Amino acid sequence: MVNGINLALQFLDSFAFIVLAAAGLAIIFGIMGVINLAHGEFILIGAYTATLAVTQLGLPLVVAMLVGGLVTGLFGILTERVIISGAWPNYISQRTLGRDVIEPLYDRLADSMVATFGLSLILTQGARIRFGNSIDQIATPFGAISYGEFSYSSYRIVLAGVSIGLLLVTYYLFTRTDFGMRARATIQDKETAQAMGVNTDRMYMLTFGFGSALAGLTGALFAPVISMQPTLGDQFLVEAFVAVVVGGPSVVLGTALSGGVLGAILATFSNLYGTFIGRIALLVAALIALRFLPNGITGFIEQLRKRRQESD
């Protein structure tokens, strides 16, 4: 039997999970055209950093989570400089060999997938070698609320709130700040942005760093509720991917809408038929959505808007 409150809570839970999993990936893919298959491992870095900061250094949970985001952001910047743009290796090779050794991965979608998958293998296995197959977990904060026969972790409700907050912050950052304006100018037309004095190279670096920091924060936020193992990133990757492509080109709106739609599907089917069917329903819905809305939900909205403008 479907219980209304239970379904609503499950929806919030799925929504938060999908939005948080996808936010960082959406920014990197939507703005930079780079598919980061190591996204799950960026989440892993955030989760491990936060957990270790609590268990080893004894930091308060909220601080540890911010540290998790920060460390992952810095790691993202390092990744961008070394692998995605190849700026640092090329700087060295220019001075020793007199030529570039690395071709940047921008506009090489498939290659960016393959290269970041290589990075993901290294990070997963590196975490396993360094920390073993699991690390001690931090306790779930806030306890549980219960009603009738159901009890529900209130932390998960907090996560839903945080996910909406993060979307708002991202929206503010990209639409109301100088950084956001420059970043969007870089996506729209790199050459013109350059001509207007935007340092596009630096924009890419910072955007990648910001996307990575979001991924790290996601990992840190989920650290108390998922098991800490080197493969924990895998469970985020698929939902993140699906949400990004179903969402379409508009990063914040797309992530929010696809989080809503896919979260509703996931919650309903999981509630009715169990988690396996829920997951399959989610994936099948994504396949169908991609087939009929190849540019995602926001691409479809954009198309409708254009058509209406033309008919006026």
Partner 1 sequence: MSRNSANGGMNRSLPSRLRSRFEGPNTIGESRGFWVGFAAAVAALAIYPAFGDGSQLSLFMVLALLGLSLSVVWGYSGVLSFGQVVFFGIGAYTFGVVSINFATPGGITAAVVAGIVGGGLSAAILGYFMFYGGVRDVYVTIITLVSTIVMHTFMAQTAGSEWAIGEAALGGFNGMPDIPLLTLGVGGLSYQFIYNPFPMRILGIGAFEISPFYYLVLVLLVGTYLGLRALVNSDYGRVMVAVREDEDRTEMFGYNVTRVKFVVFTLGGALAGLSGVLYAARNVYIDPTVFSLLFATLPVIWVSIGGRKSLLGAVVATLAVEYLRISMAGELALVLLGTLLLVTILVLPSGLVPWLHEQIVDTRLGPGEAGGADTPDAPSEVSD
Contact footprint for partner 1 (CB under 8 A): 35, 83, 86, 89, 101-103, 105, 107-111, 113-115, 117-122, 124-126, 128-129, 234, 237-238, 241-242, 245, 276, 279-280, 283-284, 286-287, 290-292, 294
Query: In the complex with partner 1, which residue's Cβ is closer, 169 or 304?
Result: 304
Least separation in angstroms between residue 128's CB and partner 1 is 7
Query: In the complex with partner 1, which residue's Cβ is closer, 137 or 302?
Result: 302
What single-letter amino acid sits at 8? A
Least separation in angstroms between residue 124's CB and partner 1 is 7
Label each residue of the chain as H, E or C. Answer: CCCHHHHHHHHHHHHHHHHHHHHHHHHHHHHHCCCCCCHHHHHHHHHHHHHHHHHCCCCCHHHHHHHHHHHHHHHHHHHHHHHHCCHHHHHHHHHHCCCCCCCCCCCCHHHHHHHHHHHHHHHHHHHHHHHCCCCCCCCCCCCEEEECCEEEEHHHHHHHHHHHHHHHHHHHHHHHCHHHHHHHHHHHCHHHHHHCCCCHHHHHHHHHHHHHHHHHHHHHHHCCCCCCCCCCCHHHHHHHHHHHHHHCCCHHHHHHHHHHHHHHHHHHHHHHHCHHHHHHHHHHHHHHHHHHCCCHHHHHHHHHHHHHHHHC
Least separation in angstroms between residue 196's CB and partner 1 is 24
Query: In the complex with partner 1, which residue's Cβ is closer, 90 or 153?
Result: 90
Query: In the complex with partner 1, which residue's Cβ is closer, 17 or 64?
Result: 17
Query: In the complex with partner 1, which residue's Cβ is closer, 128 or 190?
Result: 128
Least separation in angstroms between residue 236's CB and partner 1 is 12
Query: In the complex with partner 1, which residue's Cβ is closer, 35 or 215?
Result: 35
Least separation in angstroms between residue 39's CB and partner 1 is 13
Least separation in angstroms between residue 111's CB and partner 1 is 5
